[in-house]
Amino acid sequence: MSKINFAFAILFSLLLSEKIISQPSINSEWTAETFFVSNASVNIYKEPTTEAEVIGNFSYLERVLVIIDTRMTNKFGWKKVVHPQVGFVEEKFLISQLKKTELIKSQYYDDVQRWQTTFKYCTKDYSYIKEQSSFESKTSGLIQKEEKVLCITDETYKNKIWLKCLYPIAGYIIAEDFVEDNSNFVVRIGGAYGVENLPYEKNLTKFTSPIGGFVEVTKSNWRINFRIGYNHSGTNLNTYHLKTDLFYFLTRYEFLRLFNNHLNPYALIGGAYWMSNFQNTKYPSLTSYFPLEKDSGPAYMLGGGLIYNLYGFFIDIQYFFFGSRQAVFGKEPLPGEFSNQYKLYPGSNQFNVMIGYSFTF
């Protein structure tokens, strides 16, 4: 398989992955589901075993909220309930909404159990969880930016300042610090400077450091980012200068989000179009004999990097390899004719430092 085919195979597999636009990993590790009690009376245990202390009971068709957390080693056959009471219930006594509907036609139980749950996402760097709905109350824990919490409301709860939180920590959160949808639109604009440019063609040496710029779009809860940009570089072959302009579109996939989403390593893959010109500059007066030769074509990009975000500003340390076919400079010589034709690979390995600002909408 060629490098180009291999590159696009990687991109295709990434696009098929559900994790490309997933929530940060801490949010995707747990969720909540609603079940109904199938027996007249079901015990609630303090631990997931019938030998544990019974701390309460659920009645027939009572609606309960269950947490499914992959970080917890739940005992087979048991569910962790967080509302209307907290404890463990045997899974065999719980049924889904569909099964419950098959059992009865009356909506009486739904009418008298009017609590609703919602997922909320923190918009601050961190927010407190209080034991009671008061700023003076004892702090139960902290929620970090973009972290998910499970909240519950009903018709009797009218407090607009505080929300009741069930998971991952039970307590009360400040309502204005959380939103239901944390997928803000993000636009990053930046400039790039190449600290190193290593040509793929062995005979070429760096002439000028690469420079460029880009615009990137994403959403705050996505791990994938889409970037369009421009890159200019120059290399030497003795007295010949090769200058290459690269217009590219690439995707960055942030496979880790460290230190509360401030430091994110990533991999990149993309396509590009290059335009190069090549000329002997030793004899400026002989341009008719040493004309400016041009060539262009498609290319691919592979690489990775590390981006650091702070207060909207970012620094991106990036490596990429830009590969393409051989460029042909000069016309094809006739048999026995002298020619200045050169065949060179315009691609290179670049190490770039990028600085810019992120605009969130």
Residues 270 and 238 in one domain: yes
Query: 220-260: per-residue pLDDT in tens?
Result: 878 999 999 999 999 988 888 999 999 999 999 999 988 87
Q: How far apart are CA 31 and CA 69, in angstroms?
A: 7
Residues 166 and 87 in one domain: no
Which residues are within 8 A (CB) of 321 and not within 5 positions of it... i.e. 6 or more apart?
200, 301, 302, 303, 347, 348, 349, 350
Starting at the edge strand found earlier in the chain, the sheet holding 63-69 runs 54-59, 41-45, 87-90, 78-83, 63-69, 30-37, 94-95
Residues 234 and 167 in one domain: no
Residues 41 and 89 in one domain: yes
The whole-number average pLDDT for the span 333-354 is 85
**pLDDT value at 47 more than 80:** yes
**% pLDDT > 70, the chain:** 85
**Domain containing residue 46: CATH number:** 2.30.30.40
Residues 157 and 218 in one domain: no
The whole-number average pLDDT for the span 82-100 is 89
What pLDDT was estimated at residue 104? 65
**pLDDT value at 191 more than 70:** yes
The whole-number average pLDDT for the span 170-187 is 88
Q: Is residue 20 part of a domain?
A: no
Q: Is residue 217 part of a domain?
A: yes
Q: Give the residues across from 63 on adjacent strands.
A: 36
Domain that holds residue 142: 116-179
Q: In whole angstroms, what separates CA 182 from the centre of its chain?
A: 13
Q: Is residue 49 part of a domain?
A: yes
**pLDDT value at 277 more than 50:** yes
Tokens of 131: 């034991």
Residues 157 and 29 in one domain: no
Tokens 């605009």 belong to residue: 359
Residue scoring higher pLDDT (360 or 354): 354
Choosing from 108, 128, 143, the residue where a domain stops is 108
Residues 269 and 252 in one domain: yes
Q: Give the pairing of strands 94-95 and 30-37.
A: antiparallel
**Which DSSP string do the residues of 26-59 spell out, in sequence order?**
HHHTEEEEEEEE-SSEEEEESSSSTTSPEEEEEE
Choosing from 55, 84, 108, the residue where a domain stops is 108
| Number of domains the chain contains | 3
Residues 356 and 286 in one domain: yes
Choosing from 179, 205, 228, the residue where a domain stops is 179
| Phi and psi at residue 26, to the nearest 5° | -65, -25
Q: For 326-342, b where at least 16 C-beta lie within 10 A, e where not — what string?
A: ebebeeeeeeeeeebeb
What pLDDT was estimated at residue 112? 52
Query: 14-42: per-residue pLDDT in tens?
Result: 444 444 444 444 566 788 898 999 888 99
